[in-house]
Amino acid sequence: MHDQPNEREIPTELTAGISKRIAGRFLKGPIPLVAICAAAQLPGQSLALYLAIRHRSDLTRSEKITVPATLLRSLGINKDAKARALKHLTLAGLVAVERRRGQSARITVTPEPGGRND
């Protein structure tokens, strides 16, 4: 016999919403393969950060975005890796970064040469 009764979590509207948001993350396309290939050839976690930037940009429908720490953590990217990857992505011409003291970097996906940037 068990000393404690069987316990199970009863989903609430809040916990169901959180689970759905996490499970429901997606990448919106098209993402130019040339940009993915360029990011994949960069050191460290540049590709993962580039995909996170594209995800956030498409999700917010905003030109300039910040990448939330929760999204970075889910991809295994710490703040130092983010800084290094942003440097590589900027040098490769895939993103532009605007920095202000005391604020998160504001990132813009740069347009693809001769093509769309959707």
pLDDT in tens, 30-75: 889 999 999 999 999 999 999 999 999 998 999 999 999 999 999 9
CB neighbour list of residue 59: distance below 8 Å, 6 or more residues apart:
28
- H or E stretch at 108: strand 106-109
CATH assignment at residue 54? 1.10.10.10
Residue 25 lies in a domain: no
pTM of the model: 0.75
Judged against a pLDDT cut of 80, whether residue 7 lies above it is answered with no
Of the two residues 78 and 14, the one the predictor is more confident about is 78
Residue 54 lies in domain: 32-109
pLDDT at residue 49, rounded to an integer: 98
The total number of structural domains that make up the chain: 1
Q: Is residue 3 part of a domain?
A: no
Question: Is residue 15 in some structural domain?
Answer: no
pLDDT of residue 91: 97
Question: Does a structural domain hold residue 54?
Answer: yes
Q: Identify the three-state secondary structure at position 65.
A: strand
Which whole number is the average pLDDT over 5-34?
Answer: 73
